[in-house]
Homo-oligomer: A and B are copies of this chain.
């Protein structure tokens, strides 16, 4: 459901190949059809095929080997990836978990300085939504979202209990584009610790993020507090050719 923006040719092709990999129509260790064959298959030019394959390469689904072909990699995106920009609800569907969301608060508040730092003005207000995420009745994550106005004026209760991203993208037509993320391990206030039923050390994994629209407008500041024993972050990264020295 999440993202069916198959606007253009290269995206549709990438999406199609990705699904075929997921459904093991193309299997790990095997090669994809060659670029020329894919040209015929999708009736497109080679450059378009290559741009589609570039997306799959970036995602870690394939590895291109010169002279040989595009090798399907063995992906295992199990567990709970905070990687990329993916919402809790999307993960919930994808992984088939039995998860619930409890909305604890929804009101205007001043954005805490730690979150605002470097992104928005200090002392600014925003719509503060506090949600407790549970899996099998056990509290796992506490999300503190601060939604900036503009572009967001209000959020219906259903959207808060469901997927904020789906509401933003589908109902509001916002074009969510990128985010910066920071992961640390910190002692948290007593209230949060008790909501998450933490040990007496009060340590939680804190994921602070700032999400931007395609026009670079910041619209969402989030602090997510995770139970350390249930936290797992999985990442795929490619070695970059650009250096900064």
Chain A residues packing against B (C-beta within 8 Å) = 1-5, 11, 14-15, 18-19, 22, 47, 55-56, 58-60, 63, 65, 71, 73-74, 76, 83-85, 93-94, 118, 176-185, 199, 201, 203, 205, 212, 214-216, 228-229, 231-245
Contact A94 B244 (CB under 8 A): yes
Contact A232 B180 (CB under 8 A): no
Contact B59 A183 (CB under 8 A): no
Contact B236 A93 (CB under 8 A): no
CB-based nearest B residue for A179: B237
With a CB–CB cut-off of 8 A, which chain B residues contact A243?
1-4, 15
**26 A–B contacts, CB within 8 A, in A order:** A1-B243, A2-B243, A3-B240, A3-B243, A11-B242, A14-B241, A15-B243, A18-B242, A19-B244, A55-B242, A60-B178, A63-B216, A74-B118, A84-B240, A177-B238, A178-B238, A179-B239, A180-B235, A181-B237, A182-B232, A183-B234, A183-B235, A184-B233, A185-B203, A185-B229, A203-B228
Contact A245 B65 (CB under 8 A): no
Q: How far is the CB of A217 from chain B (nearest CB, A)?
A: 11
Contact A239 B93 (CB under 8 A): no
Q: How far is the CB of A8 from chain B (nearest CB, A)?
A: 9
With a CB–CB cut-off of 8 A, which chain B residues contact A84?
237-240
Q: Which of B94, B118, B201 contacts A76 (CB 8 A)?
A: B118
- A216-B73, A232-B183, A244-B22 known; A238-B60 Cβ under 8 A: no
With a CB–CB cut-off of 8 A, which chain B residues contact A65?
214-216
Contact B3 A231 (CB under 8 A): no
CB-based nearest B residue for A12: B241
CB-based nearest B residue for A215: B65
- A237-B83, A237-B85, A238-B85 known; A180-B245 Cβ under 8 A: no
- A59-B242, A63-B214, A241-B15 known; A181-B1 Cβ under 8 A: no
Complex: how many Å from CA A134 to CA B118?
A: 29
CB-based nearest B residue for A227: B185
- A71-B216, A214-B65, A215-B65 known; A11-B181 Cβ under 8 A: no
With a CB–CB cut-off of 8 A, which chain B residues contact A2?
243, 245
Contact B94 A63 (CB under 8 A): no
What 8 pairs between A and B have smallest CB-CB spacing? A185-B228, A183-B233, A181-B235, A85-B239, A3-B243, A178-B238, A2-B243, A84-B237
